[in-house]
């Protein structure tokens, strides 16, 4: 299942990691929530395909290790989401629809 496009309404912000908001619920290492706000990655959907990180024209994403997660042992953190130019490439290329981008989301 891909990212919930209304995650900011349906989830609570539970903290921050690597300067990026985390939307719960979280229960590590199995459940890691959604990371980011303008550029949001559902960590529980991400399978570490990596196309988003390789192809983002402004290098928004950084790998982080997530040992013990059932889908993959690393994920992409949108550490530079403030640089996003809303090209939607990452949204379109992710094979599991783990990313949503919305500049109006706070």
Which residues contact ligand F3S (rule: CB under 6 A)? 39, 41, 46-52, 56-58, 60, 76, 84-90, 93-94, 96, 98-99, 101
Considering the complex, state which of residue 32 and residue 39 has its C-beta at the smaller distance from ligand F3S: 39
Nearer to ligand F3S (CB atom), residue 28 or residue 95: 95
Cα gap 104→82, rounded to integer Å: 12
Q: Minimum distance between the CB of residue 1 and ligand F3S, rounded to whole angstroms?
A: 13
SS3 of 55, please? helix
The distance of closest approach from Cβ of residue 87 to ligand F3S in the complex, given in angstroms and rounded to an integer, is: 4
Cross-strand pairs, 101: 39
Q: For the beta carbon of residue 59, count every other beta carbon within 10 angstroms.
A: 11
- Sequence-distant (6+) residues with CB within 8 A of 92 are none
Compare residues 32 and 84 and give the one whose CB is closer to ligand F3S: 84
- Kind and range of the H or E run holding 35: strand 34-35
Least Cβ distance, residue 63 to ligand F3S (angstroms) = 8
Smallest distance, ligand F3S to C-beta of residue 21, A: 15
């Amino acid at each position: 299942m891909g990212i919930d496009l209304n995650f900011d309404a349906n989830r609570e912000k539970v903290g921050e990691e690597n300067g990026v908001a985390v939307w719960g619920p979280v229960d590590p290492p199995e459940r890691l929530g959604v990371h980011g706000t303008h550029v949001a990655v559902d960590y529980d959907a991400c399978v570490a395909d990596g196309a988003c990180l390789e192809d983002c024209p402004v290098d928004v994403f950084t790998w982080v290790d997530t040992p013990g997660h059932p889908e993959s042992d690393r994920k992409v953190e949108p550490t530079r989401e403030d640089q996003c130019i809303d090209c939607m490439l990452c949204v379109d290329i992710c094979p599991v629809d783990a990313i949503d981008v919305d500049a109006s989301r706070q």
